């Protein structure tokens, strides 16, 4: 479904290059939830943005391949990339408020989703948000970070993507909402969709994931079943996980 073989990701600064990530190799299959655990600053957000070319090419350089349905996303044309981003791969970013255009109300995003009003209202109600008539008239700066994150989640589910990528999805939501999200992710994978989480929330990862990897020292470990992952006897690895809590 998605096969990633990234040799390295570097950042260019004052004509010098700094290595951020290297030897990132993994494959995501349909119908599973995958989680990459890692502390702040380990490159989680950089990695997921690289998967669909969202990194600024004037600053970042990604070498390797990201195959989605046998198409290398890193070298495909702009039109194909736009279609992949809009129809097949959706993101929920940690900084949800700033992922929206501050000059547009949420009505703009709902209308461009082309989803029927009753479907939108059903998801708004599920995630304990105001109804369409109220929330659609608001601007991103008029809602809290938690509300913006839930709206971003709603818009992602409306799109029904083949791959849903979430960056620290529980960072701005409470325990009750995180449980609602967990149930929705399970529903999504039952429809043969795939989820990729990057987080430092071990508890959520343990509940949501089919397979887990750890990002540290500029690369990621192989994905393992969550049972095998948490039974890992490598002392350094276990200490790294403990530091996330």
Q: Which residue has the higher pLDDT, 145 or 235?
A: 145
Q: Is the pLDDT of residue 235 over 50?
A: no
For 35, the token pair is: 């989680």
**6 touches 66 (CB < 8 A):** yes
Topology of domain 31-58+75-244, CATH: Rossmann fold (3.40.50)
**197 touches 38 (CB < 8 A):** no
Q: What percent of the chain has pLDDT over 70?
A: 94
Work out the end-to-end distance of the chain between its first and last CA atoms, rounded to an integer number of angstroms. Answer: 31
Block residue for tokens 């989640």: 153
Whole-number pLDDT of residue 39: 87
| Span 216-228, average pLDDT | 92
Domain parsing of the chain, residue ranges: 31-58+75-244
């Amino acid at each position: 479904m998605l096969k990633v073989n990234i040799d390295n990701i570097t950042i260019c600064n004052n004509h010098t290059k700094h290595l951020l990530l290297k030897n990132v190799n993994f494959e995501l299959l349909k119908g599973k939830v995958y989680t990459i655990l890692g502390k702040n600053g380990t490159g989680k957000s950089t990695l997921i943005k690289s998967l669909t070319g969202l990194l600024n090419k004037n600053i970042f350089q990604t070498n390797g391949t990201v195959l989605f349905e046998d198409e290398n996303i890193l070298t495909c044309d702009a039109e194909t990339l736009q279609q992949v981003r809009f129809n097949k791969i959706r993101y929920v970013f940690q900084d949800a408020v700033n992922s929206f255009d501050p000059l547009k109300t949420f009505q703009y995003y709902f209308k461009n989703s082309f989803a029927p009003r009753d479907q939108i209202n059903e998801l708004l109600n599920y995630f304990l948000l105001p109804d369409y008539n109220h929330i659609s008239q608001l601007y991103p700066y008029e809602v809290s970070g938690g509300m913006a994150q839930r709206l971003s989640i709603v818009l992602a589910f409306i799109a029904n993507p083949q791959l849903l990528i979430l960056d620290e999805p529980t960072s701005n939501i409470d325990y009750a909402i995180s449980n609602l999200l967990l149930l929705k992710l399970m529903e999504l994978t039952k429809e043969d969709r795939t989820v990729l989480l990057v987080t430092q929330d071990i508890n959520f990862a343990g509940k949501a994931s089919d397979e887990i990897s750890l990002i540290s020292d500029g690369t990621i470990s192989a994905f393992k079943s969550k049972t095998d992952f948490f039974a890992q006897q490598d002392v350094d690895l276990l200490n790294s996980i403990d530091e996330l809590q």
